[in-house]
Structure formats: structure tokens, C-alpha cells
Chains A and B, each alone.
Chain A
Amino acid sequence: MSANLGTIAFLSLTVLTIVPALMVVSTRNLVHAGFWMLPCLIGVAGFYALLEAHFFVVVQVLIYIGAILVLIMFALMLTRDVMNPKERQTNGLGAVAGGLCGLGLLATAHLLFRHPWPAGDAVPASAHDQTVALGRALVTRYVLPFEAASILLLAALIAAIVIAKSLRPPDRPAGCDGERQGA
């Protein structure tokens, strides 16, 4: 890819990622916020493609867009008042949080462009070789984090079932000040 084309791709992906991300945190309609997440995640997948991490382009689309985003949309639709434009969606911290995050971003940008980074002329392996190397790494040197991730997923699976099942009977009125059921 020529340098010029890479720059254009990078800039358009930046717009494709940052603008929807701003909409996600600012729009009042939460279902729209969920849908704005979609171009943002696609933009990040595009960055992965630009970085030549081919495997994670597919993983990003499959797991983030295909699983996590759909799960969040379901949860949004199961709760109420998410599309009510009159419902206040922010607390009073907007100015403080905006100032804090903006200041942090400025400081990071300042440090980033002052640091002498290496040129990064290394060429990554092909998509096939990368995936093979990742599979090898996961069952040799990095088998412990791999198994830890398996245990994390198993624990999350069981915990999600336990949390979803441990509701008190629905005939009792919600919101009363009686005892809350334990886990």
C-alpha cells in the first residue's frame, strides 16, 4: 500500500471511529447510542486491518459486533425509557468529566509526539502465518493465560446463570424495603 493511500485510509478510519464514539456517549436516545457503537467497532476493525493484524479483524467483527453489541442491544430493549427523549441521560458531571478527559488527552498527545518512537519498518507475517503462530503460542508459551481465560469464561457462564436465576419470586412487590435475597 502506498504511503498516501495509507494516510487517507487512516484518516477516514479515524473519522469513522471517533465521530460515532462521540455520538455513543452524547446521544439521548440509548438505542441510537447502541447503533452508533456499530460504525465505531467497524472502524476499530479497520484499524486492525491497517495494522495487518488480520485475525483480529475477524474476531472484532464476530465477537464485538456479533455477540457483545447484540447482547447490549437486547439489554437496552429489555429496560424502559431508553428511547424517551425527555429522560435525562447524564448526571451533572459533564463539565468536570469533559475537562478531565480533555486534559488527559492533551497531556497524552503532548507526550506521544515528543517521545522518539522507532520507525517500525518490520513487516508482519502473512495472515496465515500469524494465525498459526498465535495458535502455537496459545498452547506452548502462553498456555497459562489461555487456561486462565477459559476459567474466566466458565466462571462468567456460571455466574450469569446464577445471577439470572437468583431472583426473588415475582409476586412480591418490587422496590419494597424488605430484605434483598442473597446470592
Chain B
Amino acid sequence: MIGLPHYLLVGSALFGIGAFGALTRRNAIAVLLSVELMLNAANLNFLAFWRFLDATAMEAHVFVLIGLTVAAAEAALGLAIVLNVYREFGTVNLDEIAELRG
């Protein structure tokens, strides 16, 4: 029978994959994609806790809604910054953008 730990395991797997992508990818947009994976994992965990711990509470729904808002704002702003960086440096590879490196 599928219970709470199975959902949480899928959530942590998704988070681990996203963290791996965020750490290893060179392209800034690919890093943003990985961050979206991690945000999805967090939302999945919230709803799993809601379903199996207290299905009448509204906290998880509010958290997920705020999380979605943050994800949307992050994507819009992150991509605006990435496009600006691209026009400034001609690349979005994070290891080639070393302007601020001391």
C-alpha cells in the first residue's frame, strides 16, 4: 500500500535530481529548470503531508499556492536577468561570466 513515505521519497528524489542539475549545469537557463524541479518537489511534499497527516487543514494548500507564485516570479525575473546577461556577455554559461570574480 502506498503511504506517505513513498510520496516523500519521490519528492526527495525529484529534489536530489534538481540539486544535481543546479550544481552541474553550465547554462543558466538549465540551472533555472533544475530549480523548478526542486520547487516541484517541495510542493509535492506539502500536498503529501496534507493528504496523510491532516486532510482538513488549509495550510498546505496556501503554502503550495505561495510556492507556485514564488516559482512564477522566480522564472520571470531569472529569465529577464539571464537575457540581460546574454546581451551583455554573449553567453549564459555561468563559468564564463566571471566579471565580479575577485
A residues contacting B by CB (< 8 A) are: 3, 6-7, 10, 14, 17-18, 21-22, 24-25, 30, 33-34, 37, 40-41, 44, 47-48, 51-53, 55-56, 59, 63-64, 67-68, 71-72, 74-76, 78-79, 82, 88-91, 93-94, 96-98, 100-102, 104-105, 108-109, 112-113, 115, 117-120, 122-125, 130, 133-134, 137-138, 141-142, 145-146, 148-149, 152-153, 155-157, 159-160, 163-164, 166-167, 174-175, 180
Contacts and interface: CB of A to CB of B under 8 A. Distances in A.
Nearest to A120: B52
Contact of A102 (B16, B50, B54, B70): B16
A177 to B, nearest CB: 9
B87 A174 contact: yes
Contacts of B88: 174-175, 180
A57 to B, nearest CB: 10
A82 B80 contact: no
A24 B33 contact: yes
Contacts of A118: 4, 52-53
Given A123-B55, A145-B66, A75 B9 contact: no
A180 B100 CA distance: 11
Contacts of B71: 63-64, 68
Interface in B43-92: 43-44, 47-48, 50-56, 58, 61-62, 64-66, 68-73, 75-77, 79-84, 86-90, 92
Given A71-B76, A91-B26, A145-B66, A40 B5 contact: no
A183 B93 CA distance: 22
Given A118-B53, A174-B87, A18 B23 contact: no
Interface majority SS on A: helix, strand, loop or mixed?
Answer: helix
A98 B25 CA distance: 12
A33 B33 contact: yes
B2 interface: yes
Interface of B: 1-10, 12-14, 16-21, 23-27, 29-30, 32-34, 36-37, 40, 43-44, 47-48, 50-56, 58, 61-62, 64-66, 68-73, 75-77, 79-84, 86-90, 92, 94-95, 99
A140 B10 CA distance: 33
A30 B10 contact: no
B2 A10 contact: yes
A181 to B, nearest CB: 9
A59 B19 CA distance: 24
A72 B77 contact: no
B14 to A, nearest CB: 6
Contact of B81 (A7, A53, A76, A163): A163
14 contacts: A21-B17, A24-B21, A25-B24, A25-B37, A44-B43, A47-B44, A63-B71, A64-B68, A72-B79, A133-B58, A134-B61, A145-B66, A156-B76, A159-B80
